[in-house]
Structure 1
C-alpha cells in the first residue's frame, strides 16, 4: 500500500491510499479519483513531506522541553488530581439543585431576571448549551457525569 497527498483544481488537499503507484495512475486515468470535498476529478499529486523517524540513539534537539514519552506521566498523580476534581464537584453539587432536563429554561430565566439566581445543575442538549453560551448565560459543563437523584439508591 502507498499513500499520496492529492490536490484538486480548487486547491483542496487530501490523502488517499492505493495498492501501488500504478493503481493510482490507472484509477486517475479512469476518472475514479475525486476530491472528497468538492467532487472534482482533475486530481494531481500534491507535494509531500517525507516522514523519517529519528534515530533511537539520538538525543532531542530541545532538551528543556518535556518529553512526549508516555512513561513520563505519573498515573498516581493523575489519579490524585482526578479524585480532587471529583470531590470538588461533589462539594459544589451539595449546594446546588437538580433541575433535570429543564436546566436550559431555568438558567435562561435566572439570567433574564425572571427567577432568583441560585446554583442549579441538570441536563441540556448540545444545541441548548450552545444557545445558552451564545446568549451570554453563564454556564459550564461539569467534568464528571451526574446521576439524577431519582436514579440513586
Structure 2
C-alpha cells in the first residue's frame, strides 16, 4: 500500500491510498481520480514528506504500518464503487440542471425564494461554499467520475 498526497487543478489537497504506484498511474490515466472538495478530475501528486522512523521497526503514527484498517477501506477504488458513482452521476445529470460556475449564486437565489426550487449541480469555489454554509445552504460534493458510456 502507498499513500499519496494529491492536489487538484483548483489547488485542493487530499490523500489517497493505492495498492502500488502502477495502480495510481492507471486510475490517473483513466480519469478515475477526482477531488473530494470540488470534483475536478485533473489530479496530480503533491509534494510530501517521507515517513521516517526513529527506532528500527517502529512506524510513525499515520504511516502505512500504523493504518492497516484504513488500508483495506481506502485502497484502490473498487469497480463496484466506480459503477455506483457513475449511476449517481447519470441520475444527477438527468434529474438536475447544470448551472456550471453559477452554482453558489443559484443556490442562494433558491434559498432566498428568488428562484424556483429545483435540483441543480455545478462548480463552487471554497469561498462560495463558505458563503453557502454561512447562509445555511447545505450542499453535497460528489466525486465526479467518468460517465459509464464515455
TM-score of the aligned structures, taking structure 1 as reference length: 0.46
TM-score of the aligned structures, taking structure 2 as reference length: 0.47
Q: Which has the higher contact order (CA 8 A, sep 6+)?
A: 2
